[in-house]
Amino acid sequence: MANHRHFFNRKLHSLLGVVPIGAFLFIHLLTNYYATRGEAAFLDRVKIMEGLPFLALVELVFIFLPLLYHAIFGLYIAFQAKNNVGNYGYFRNVMFMLQRVTGVITLIFVAWHVWETKIQLVMGTTQATGLFKLMNEILASPFMLAFYIVGLLSAVFHFSNGLWSFAVSWGITIGPRSQRISTYVTMVIFVLMSVMGLMALFAFAHPVDVAQAIQP
């Protein structure tokens, strides 16, 4: 019975890491990417997201509860896991270790980021229309900018490398060839999402007046 429960928890943990948590990560990065087009463009996207019906319920059911479960069980896996040298080669074993390390870093980063942004919105300390300026103030500190860069890269790596593990554990990539192709695909995903996220961070940190930028 215990083995069946553990197997179910591992499967659920893997699934939630892709849907809905991974999907939310992509949407969040895409929304932030609009900061590269200026404050107005970013706030327009925020307004669309804030205007979704039953937003609080959707966030609770499809984001915060899955994230809480994924984080708690993920910590259990991280501190119980043993290197899988016998099952995979050196490269994949390094990725296995990095998956655990970036999971812990991501948890710390997400908790801090949620406190600095979402909790401030709920408490009324910050309005949605002030999110751009809030992020600009946070990232004005070189330390916080570095912290956000590390947190962003850890979150994206944890997701993209987790896709590889998800495909294996769910029987999508079974043989060595399909797993090798999956490695390349997830690396491309990591690079693309990282670039998108980093561009948004630097747009928040160093905002540009788009109207002036396009003038000859």
> At residue 114, what are phi and psi to the nearest 5 degrees?
-65, -40
**Per-residue confidence of the chain (216 residues) as pLDDT tens digits?**
667 787 889 999 999 999 999 999 999 999 999 999 999 999 999 999 989 999 999 999 999 999 999 999 999 888 876 655 445 668 888 898 899 999 999 999 999 999 999 888 878 778 888 999 999 999 999 999 999 999 999 999 999 999 999 999 999 999 999 999 999 999 999 999 999 999 999 999 998 754 444 444
pLDDT digits (tens, 9 = 90+) for 91-108: 888 898 899 999 999 999
Q: What is the pTM of this model?
A: 0.91
Residue boundaries of the structural domains of the chain: 2-213
Q: What is the DSSP string of 84-144?
A: -TTTS-HHHHHHHHHHHHHHHHHHHHHHHHHHHTHHHHHHTSS-GGGHHHHHHHHHTSHHH
The confidence score (pLDDT) of residue 79 equals 80
What would be the CATH architecture of the domain defined by 2-213? Up-down Bundle (1.20)
